[in-house]
Structure 1
Amino acid sequence: MKELVSVHEFLVQPDDLSDWHLESELAADNYNQVIHCLYQNADEDIDTEKLTTQLANVWQALAADEYLTEFEDESEIVTWVEEYLAVQTKP
């Protein structure tokens, strides 16, 4: 049911991150890549509320984190998403 969730609602602009990051454009690009990666890795039949919550919680987990501008490549983003999902799915 993930097609019922619009990933675009969770994307950010550089201005959204400028309070925390001097390189706000890079931070926004990386943040948006995380959102797309999370969406792509979600099961096709995931509950829409669960997916919405996971996407929304990226903000608290990553927006102000200095690591957001330190991702070296896409594989690090994928690793971050996998670790994030592992924490999100713990009871």
Structure 2
Amino acid sequence: MKLSTCLKTLFCVLSTIAVIIAMILLAELAYRRLVEASAVRKTELEAKMKEDNVDMLAYVDSAIEFLKKGLRWLERRGNEDRACSCRI
């Protein structure tokens, strides 16, 4: 194999490795920025919730009750549909 061919191959391999390393570093930088931004956003939301006296437990309880009512309604409707189909 000629020396020039060997050098071209080596250059291609090293270029590919350099591109892969650059992509990994850019992805890590983007991830760090995302994590930092979400941490800042989280602290802002927590401060806003404390400021507005938001009771998350009451909110979750009301959401669960709403879902229970919806489930009961669906069960009643399903039972009515079954009763109607049995009469036919």
Q: Could you say whether these structures have the same fold, taking a TM-score greater than 0.5 normalized by the shorter chain as the test?
A: no
User: TM-score, length-normalised on structure 1?
Assistant: 0.28
Structure-2-length-normalised TM-score: 0.29
Higher relative contact order at CA 8 Å, sep ≥6: structure 1 or structure 2? Answer: 1
Which structure has the larger Rg over C-alpha atoms?
2
